[in-house]
Chain A
């Protein structure tokens, strides 16, 4: 078991945002987290990364309880993430952004630079390596965040809406990138609004609704689950079917 969440609960005052969610991932798995805005998926995601500490429950990473560890402690132990709104180092070059990630595993600047170039090659950003990160558009910055996370040589990569704000073509490229990363044996957790992304990538899906986990299974099982259809996908799926596509572009 690479990553395990046991009854993770997060409350803000009287409001329970995540209610006793459990999941376990083996090496090479892809887990999708879906649900409407405010359903609690991002909060759960941030409990996994250490940006938020769970009110109760446990997060186990590689057999070690990391529930109360900081994001940097979890990064050392093999967890890497991207952000919903890209958080690149704006004044640094694309190469330097990735080097920050690579420095987690080496203190040698030349080695970090070499590793960063390898990763940039993998994600297709070599051509812009000397550009300032702040000059990239949204797709480039999202890609850069993934590159930077990969440079920390993680066991598990958590992507927070890596496709949000991308055009259909850009989404296809991003899906290809995620597939490519998965083929290297990477374990992934993906928060996503766009259903077709989840269905085409994830092996297991958790559906959130008002803080509760209302379904958990393969994408096929989940989309057929009556609770999911009525609580979330029902209205949307119907509306989307009428508009001629599956998924919410927002």
Chain B
């Protein structure tokens, strides 16, 4: 009961944010936080719940982004109309990568996903129809409202919020159904899970495919907002790392972990880019590296888990005190 009150309060704040902080910079910042929260929440399904750390999720992000731009460029579709195409392609690619690599344990899966992502970047860089090294652009002027091309970030903010709520809703449903339990069991101890009849390979693949499909939606939204995609922004390893770090920093395997991570990292990056200008681009890598080390060393289960544990400890301490006082 208390938890739902808190959640409603936070949701109300999130809905009101772009109206309370009505500057273009802060609205755009809010929209970006939500966009990356979508991608990180999608990653969380396979990386957080199932414990299969994909470092190549940008492939799916790129799939969604490229599908929307390519179908606009070649067929004149509104960019957002190609979302199902991007999802289908991502799910197909996830199956192709997942079937051979999800048998690999631990780091080998991660390395395989990096290899595939880099391969995809190189291939796309050499395909003219996908804009090669230059990239693809969306509509310069909106033809209809369906092009979703706005100068203000406000419409994007609410669009991203709606998509994020769908992704989180799906994750919440999953968390409380058999597949969610099975994924956590596989993450904890795959051998034991299999002894209880859990088809570990199949469930990991399901998680990977669902995660891939949702990540591609984030890619399509990114391309729609920026109206442009190139191999670096759409398929660069930095985007993979960014998605992963947001989930890990906030709390992998927790429903709201990726959102917390995005709410910390996106402003950090935007502000450092603004302060440092173009020179800051390389520094981003250094910052990410440092964050990876700090999370791995001090908060392997993420900041949200830390806060939740502290709250739980404080609660039990205060209830202990109440018991003592009563006695």
Measured CB to CB, the residues of A under 8 A from B are 49, 51, 70-72, 75-76, 80-81, 83, 87-92, 96, 99-101, 103-104, 107, 109, 112, 148-149, 151-152
By beta carbon, the residue of chain A nearest B176 is: A109
Q: How many residues of B are counted as interface, with CB atoms below 8 angstroms from the partner's CB atoms?
A: 19
Would you call the interface of chain B mostly helix, strand, loop, or mixed? helix
Name, among A49, A51, A87, the residue most crowded by chain B CB atoms within 10 Å (CB to CB).
Answer: A87
Q: Are B197 and A92 closer than 8 Å at their CB atoms?
A: no
Tell whether B178 is near chain A: CB-to-CB under 8 Å. Answer: yes
CA of A100 to CA of B196 in the docked complex: distance in angstroms?
A: 7
Tell whether B193 is near chain A: CB-to-CB under 8 Å. Answer: yes
Asked whether A88 and B196 contact (CB < 8 A) given A99-B181, A103-B178, the answer is: no
Contacts of A75 in B (CB 8 A): 194-197
Asked whether A112 and B189 contact (CB < 8 A) given A72-B194, A101-B196, A152-B196, the answer is: no
CA of A148 to CA of B189 in the docked complex: distance in angstroms?
A: 13
By beta carbon, the residue of chain B nearest A77 is: B197
Asked whether A91 and B188 contact (CB < 8 A) given A99-B181, A103-B178, A109-B178, the answer is: yes
Name the interface residues of B224-259: CB closer than 8 Å to any CB of A.
none
Asked whether A92 and B188 contact (CB < 8 A) given A109-B178, A112-B178, the answer is: yes
CA of A107 to CA of B197 in the docked complex: distance in angstroms?
A: 13
Q: Are A88 and B192 closer than 8 Å at their CB atoms?
A: yes
Contacts of B191 in A (CB 8 A): 51, 71, 83, 87
Give the tally of cross-chain contacts (CB within 8 A). Answer: 76
Measured CB to CB, the residues of B under 8 A from A are 176-178, 181-182, 184-185, 188-189, 191-200
CA of A96 to CA of B175 in the docked complex: distance in angstroms?
A: 12
Q: Which of A51, A80, A100, A152 contacts B182 (CB 8 A)?
A: A100
Asked whether A152 and B188 contact (CB < 8 A) given A99-B181, A100-B181, A103-B178, the answer is: no
Name, among A51, A71, A81, the residue most crowded by chain B CB atoms within 10 Å (CB to CB).
Answer: A71
Contacts of B189 in A (CB 8 A): 87-90
CB distance from B157 to the nearest CB of A (A): 34
Q: Which of B176, B178, B192, B193 contacts A83 (CB 8 A)?
A: B192
CA of A83 to CA of B199 in the docked complex: distance in angstroms?
A: 19
Contacts of A107 in B (CB 8 A): 177-178
Q: Are B181 and A103 closer than 8 Å at their CB atoms?
A: yes
Q: Are B192 and A152 closer than 8 Å at their CB atoms?
A: no
Contacts of A72 in B (CB 8 A): 194-200
CB distance from A101 to the nearest CB of B (A): 5
Contacts of A87 in B (CB 8 A): 189, 191-192, 195
Q: List 16 A-B contacts (CB under 8 A).
A: A51-B191, A71-B195, A72-B195, A72-B200, A75-B197, A83-B192, A89-B184, A89-B192, A92-B184, A99-B181, A100-B193, A100-B198, A104-B196, A109-B177, A109-B178, A149-B196
CA of A87 to CA of B198 in the docked complex: distance in angstroms?
A: 14
Contacts of A148 in B (CB 8 A): 192, 196
Contacts of A103 in B (CB 8 A): 178, 181-182, 198
Name, among B189, B191, B198, the residue most crowded by chain A CB atoms within 10 Å (CB to CB).
Answer: B189
Q: Are B194 and A70 closer than 8 Å at their CB atoms?
A: yes
Q: Are A100 and B195 closer than 8 Å at their CB atoms?
A: no
By beta carbon, the residue of chain B nearest A108 is: B178
CB distance from A215 to the nearest CB of B (A): 29
By beta carbon, the residue of chain A nearest B185 is: A100
CA of A91 to CA of B189 in the docked complex: distance in angstroms?
A: 10
CB distance from A115 to the nearest CB of B (A): 13
Contacts of A90 in B (CB 8 A): 188-189
CB distance from B58 to the nearest CB of A (A): 29
Q: Are B177 and A49 closer than 8 Å at their CB atoms?
A: no
By beta carbon, the residue of chain A nearest B192 is: A87
CA of A81 to CA of B193 in the docked complex: distance in angstroms?
A: 11
CB distance from B103 to the nearest CB of A (A): 12
CA of A90 to CA of B195 in the docked complex: distance in angstroms?
A: 16
